[in-house]
Structure 1
Amino acid sequence: MKVFRTPEARFADLPGYPFKPNYLLLDDGLRLHYVDEGSAAAPPVLMLHGEPSWSYLYRKMIPLFAQAGYRALAPDLVGFGKSDKPLEPELFSYQAHVDWLTQWILKMDLRDITLVCQDWGALLGLRIAMEQPERFARIVVANGFMPTGDRKAPAAFRLWRAFALHSPWFPVSGVIRSGCSRKPSPEVLAAYDAPFATEASKTAARRFPALVPTTPQDPATPANRRAWEALGRWQKPFLTIFGDRDKITRGAFKVLQKQVPGAQGQPHEMLEGVGHFIQEDAGEELAAKILAWMRRIR
């Protein structure tokens, strides 16, 4: 397996990201990085990023959860952030990402988890929560969904997938900037580029759009359908907080609220003036709303 490991020097002095690195070695030898702040004995808040971001996306939220008495955990998916980056596209699949992340959760022996997930963090987090329901206490979906391929993918998504796979250039910070309604500073955008020191190191980021199920014949469709069936039985608290300017998951919250029993009667919200990268646009506000909700449902 050919693997790229981003030099640590590229992560020096990133704005708003003072967190000590933590690493766990997976069974296949890949090293997965995660942020781990707060008491190890406290209930965990698990924050999952998506495409093409990394745990830096949660830098505004991590301290707020830790200060509130929770264990704030934000892993970098394999191929992103400070985690190892396999360079062979065929090593990446929806199932591989599920397996890597599940292995990390089991090795960490995380329980009583509050899941906070966005974008691909939701595609992975919802699958894993439904496959390991005894480990999860509550779920927050912020601009995320879990497709099965039973609905035709929008033309905009098909164009995005083709661009990611075939374009000679793939500007990670440009993708982040286009998904924000409140434009990040040049220094923050540079931090999103930091993990990707070479074009080859962007293999996972380029591959992700092609892994989204877009037809019923997709390899991930059967498992995602089973996860939706489990969501239909999920009685634990389930909250959606979306941005009103998110063009990618527009309307997905309606399906989640209708399907999930635990979503009934919850204080779902739509944040005004907030784009797809809700953590970047309104991280402190998002964390505050989640914490207020968690205090009410204890």
Structure 2
Amino acid sequence: MRILRTDEARFAGLPDYPFSAHYLDVEPGLRMHYVDEGPNDSAPVLMLHGEPSWSYLYRHMIPLVADAGHRVLAPDLVGFGKSDKPSHVGDYTYERHIHWLSQWLKALDLKNITLVCQNWGSLLGLRLAAEHPQLFRRIIVGNGMLPTGDTPVPAVFSLWKAFATHSPWFPVGRIVQLGTERTMSKAEIAAYEAPFPSAEYKAGARAFPKLVPVSADDPSSAANKAAWRVLEKWKKPFITCFSSGDPITRGGDRYMQRRIPGAHGQPHITLRGGHFLQEDSPDDFARIIIDALKSELAA
């Protein structure tokens, strides 16, 4: 496996991203980057990004939650952000991403975790929570699901998958803008491009759409069904925080609310915004997290 590492200079001066860099090897020669803000001795809030973003997506939320007295960790998935990037699309599998994240969790000895996840952060985070339920205290999902391949995917996803697989042009910053209702600045769009100095660095971003289970024969379908069997008995708090303008995940919040016991009676909310609600409604999204943690302290 050929590993690429983005030059740190490409991340200099990014708008609203003042966080110190932390690194951890999840296997020999493969380094993951993560943000770690707030008091070290408080229960961790784990923010998982998706496709094709990185921890920069949570830049407006991290300080709000950390300033409320919570430890916030936001890793860059392998292939994204400041993390190392295997150079071939075939280097990435669903199970490898689960393994890399599991190694990261284990190395940091994280427990009593509040999971905050969106997009592929949900496909990975919900699997992690189901496979290591003793480590997680609550789950907050925004615009994400855990697909098993048993239900048809939206047509817009099929188009996205074809584009990611075949298009010679893969403008990450503009892709994020397409999923965001507000107009981002040129510097913000450039920040999403910063991890990818050339096309060969984008293998991880191109790989993700093909890894979503779309049929029962998919290699990850059985593992995701096993995760659902755990989630169907999940009685710890489970909160959905979807946006009003996401055609890909629309309806997934109600599906999870019906199917997961821990979702019953929780303060589910629909926020204004597109697919990347962290860009459109960061303050409101952060408030959901802070209030969920505060309600437990008050109980």
* Shorter-chain TM band: over 0.9
Q: CA RMSD in A?
A: 0.8
Name the structure 1 match of 2:279. 280
Secondary structure of 1:51's match?
A: coil
1:253 maps onto 2:253 in alignment: yes
Name the structure 2 match of 1:100. 100
The structural deviation recorded for 1:282 is 1.0
Deviations 1:243-274 (A, max 9, x none): 001111000001110011000000100113x1
State the alpha-carbon separation in 2 of the partners of residues 196 and 27 from structure 1: 22
Deviations 1:220-255 (A, max 9, x none): 000000111100000000100110011110000011
The structural deviation recorded for 1:185 is 1.1
Secondary structure of 1:46's match?
A: strand
Give TM-score, length-normalised by structure 1. 0.98
Name the structure 2 match of 1:265. 265
Give TM-score, length-normalised by structure 2. 0.98
Correspondence list, 1:138-287, <5 A: 138-272=138-272, 274-287=273-286
State the alpha-carbon separation in 2 of the partners of residues 120 and 50 from structure 1: 4
State the alpha-carbon separation in 1 of the partners of residues 9 and 283 from structure 2: 28
Secondary structure of 1:34's match?
A: strand
State the alpha-carbon separation in 2 of the partners of residues 196 and 119 from structure 1: 20
Q: Which amino acid aligns with 2:141?
A: V
The structural deviation recorded for 1:140 is 0.0
Q: Which amino acid aligns with 1:179?
A: G
Name the structure 2 match of 1:20. 20
State the alpha-carbon separation in 2 of the partners of residues 28 and 227 from structure 1: 28
Q: Which amino acid aligns with 1:213?
A: P
Task: Report if aligned partners of 2:123, 2:147 keep a CA contact under 8 Å in 1.
Answer: yes
State the alpha-carbon separation in 1 of the partners of residues 246 and 182 from structure 2: 12
Name the structure 2 match of 1:111. 111
State the alpha-carbon separation in 1 of the partners of residues 154 and 13 from structure 2: 39
Detail structure 1 runs of 4+ shifted over 6 Å in the superposition.
Answer: none
Task: Report if aligned partners of 2:65, 2:289 keep a CA contact under 8 Å in 1.
Answer: no
Deviations 1:105-141 (A, max 9, x none): 0111000000000000000000000000000000000
Structure 2 alignment gaps of length 5 or more: none
Pick which of 202-211 and 63-72 moved more: 63-72
Task: Report if aligned partners of 2:50, 2:118 keep a CA contact under 8 Å in 1.
Answer: yes
Task: Report if aligned partners of 2:156, 2:247 keep a CA contact under 8 Å in 1.
Answer: no
The structural deviation recorded for 1:154 is 2.1
The structural deviation recorded for 1:20 is 0.5
The structural deviation recorded for 1:289 is 2.1
State the alpha-carbon separation in 2 of the partners of residues 89 and 258 from structure 1: 36
Q: Which amino acid aligns with 2:166?
A: H
State the alpha-carbon separation in 2 of the partners of residues 90 and 186 from structure 1: 32
State the alpha-carbon separation in 1 of the partners of residues 104 and 123 from structure 2: 17
State the alpha-carbon separation in 1 of the partners of residues 143 and 154 from structure 2: 16
Name the structure 2 match of 1:132. 132
Q: Which amino acid aligns with 2:2?
A: K
Secondary structure of 2:143's match?
A: strand
Name the structure 1 match of 2:66. 66
State the alpha-carbon separation in 1 of the partners of residues 180 and 204 from structure 2: 22
The structural deviation recorded for 1:91 is 1.3
State the alpha-carbon separation in 2 of the partners of residues 277 and 155 from structure 1: 19
1:290 maps onto 2:270 in alignment: no
